[in-house]
Amino acid sequence: MKSVLSYMKWPLIVTVAGLVLAGFVGWEYERNLSGVLTFLFIAAVLAVLEISLSFDNSIVNAQKLRTMTPVWQHRFLTWGIVIAVFGMRIVFPLLIVVIAAHVNPWEAVVLAASRPDEYSRIIHDAHLPIAAFGGSFLMLVALRFFLDQDKAVDWVPGVETAFRWLGAISGIAVGVVLIAVLVVIQFLPAEDGLVFISSAIWGIVTYLLVDALGHVLDRWNESTSTSDVARSGLGGFLYLEVLDASFSFDGVIGAFALTHNLFLIAIGLGVGAMFVRSMTIMLVEKGTLAQFRYLEHGAFWSVLVLSVIMFIQTLHHVPEAVTGLLGASFIGVALVNSILWRKRHPGLVPHQH
């Protein structure tokens, strides 16, 4: 079986290449050693930020990938990383500027290169609809896990058992999200409230559409034909791409707190995304989720907390360090509890969701 280091080979190569590129960008902008070192430091911090905010993403991705065919697993882990790095870390921020500033894509690139403060301002002004969309989508992702009546293991027995009992109520997940949205808009100005609720509804609709598509394509998977299996894999692929986009919102927006340079942000977050991809592969191939009884639960609690934080961020700024530490804490405690469970039950195989 492959070692952990072997899974990290490409991320380490990309890290070296990214740091070299960050140093080059720093020299082009600052023309001195101090500027180069500053850019190198910021790129490293951005990579750590991305990893800390997205570790739960790798666990959730691994859970979904287990149900996909090897072909579509490979496609997500190859095409998906291209979409994740270039789509979410470069194209997405540019697209925000294109829409908000009513400029063409090339003008957005020029704006990012020549007027980074203005570029950053536009990105931050778009934070409200982004947080509403991402928060509602991620909250539904987490609630789907906890409300599933077929879930056989509870990490927090009283709370998760109650969640599962509520799962018998049709449409309860959407109802919970809508209640959360209604609570938030009570504290927003009228003009912001309209933007927030419309964006949140789009997040709900997107989740329902992707989920419905997955169910339709899964039915075709009952056939043994290659085309039907491919369609089923497509549903899972689309679900994971939207999921990754929702997770990425927080990192992309948070990156502008460290630097306004689009190219440096792309390098730092891209390096972090490569580590997240490799962690996902390792979780799938080494069967880590099956070995640690509560790891999935910790990840989905982290997702639920992240969705709540995204809603809160529309009212008050929450430091990215807090978001990352909370997510890591849930996963860390779940990992420790899983190890303790294995020690108490050495002869049993952890039963998974």
3-class secondary-structure state, position 150: coil
Residues 150-175 have a mean pLDDT of 88
3-class secondary-structure state, position 102: coil
Q: What pLDDT, in 10s, does the model give residues 311-322?
A: 998 898 887 667
How far is it, in rounded angstroms, from Cα 119 to Cα 90?
A: 13
Residue 338 has pLDDT above 60, yes or no: yes
Residue type, 5: L
Residues 154-160 have a mean pLDDT of 88
Residues 42-56 have a mean pLDDT of 77
- Radius of gyration for the chain, computed over Cα atoms and rounded to the nearest angstrom: 21
Q: What pLDDT, in 10s, does the model give residues 287-333?
A: 777 778 888 888 889 889 888 988 998 898 887 667 777 877 888 89
How would you class 22 by CB atoms within 10 Å of its CB: exposed for 0-12, middle for 13-18, buried for 19 or more?
A: buried
How far is it, in rounded angstroms, from Cα 77 to Cα 241?
A: 11
Residue type, 146: F
Mean model confidence pLDDT for the chain? 81
CB 43 within 8 A of CB 22: yes
What are the CA-CA distances from residue 314 to residues 34, 54, 118, 124, 159 (Å)? 36, 21, 21, 11, 27
Q: What is the DSSP letter of 224?
A: -
pLDDT over 70 for what percent of the chain?
88
Residue type, 36: V
How far is it, in rounded angstroms, from Cα 309 to Cα 327?
A: 11
User: Is the model's pTM score more than 0.85?
Assistant: no
Residues 43-63 have a mean pLDDT of 77
Look up residue 228 and give its two tokens.
């039907």
Residue 196 has pLDDT above 90, yes or no: yes
User: For residue 353, what pLDDT is reported?
Assistant: 53
Residue 164 has pLDDT above 70, yes or no: yes
Residue 149 has pLDDT above 70, yes or no: yes
- Banded model confidence at residue 218, pLDDT cuts 50, 70, 90: low
User: For residue 173, what pLDDT is reported?
Assistant: 94
Residue 229 has pLDDT above 60, yes or no: no
Residues 30-56 have a mean pLDDT of 82
> In terms of pLDDT, which residue wins out, 252 or 98?
98
How far is it, in rounded angstroms, from Cα 342 to Cα 52?
A: 26
Residue 228 has pLDDT above 50, yes or no: no
- Banded model confidence at residue 197, pLDDT cuts 50, 70, 90: very high
Residue 175 has pLDDT above 80, yes or no: yes
CB 119 within 8 A of CB 111: yes
CB 331 within 8 A of CB 155: no
Residue type, 251: G
User: For residue 213, what pLDDT is reported?
Assistant: 73
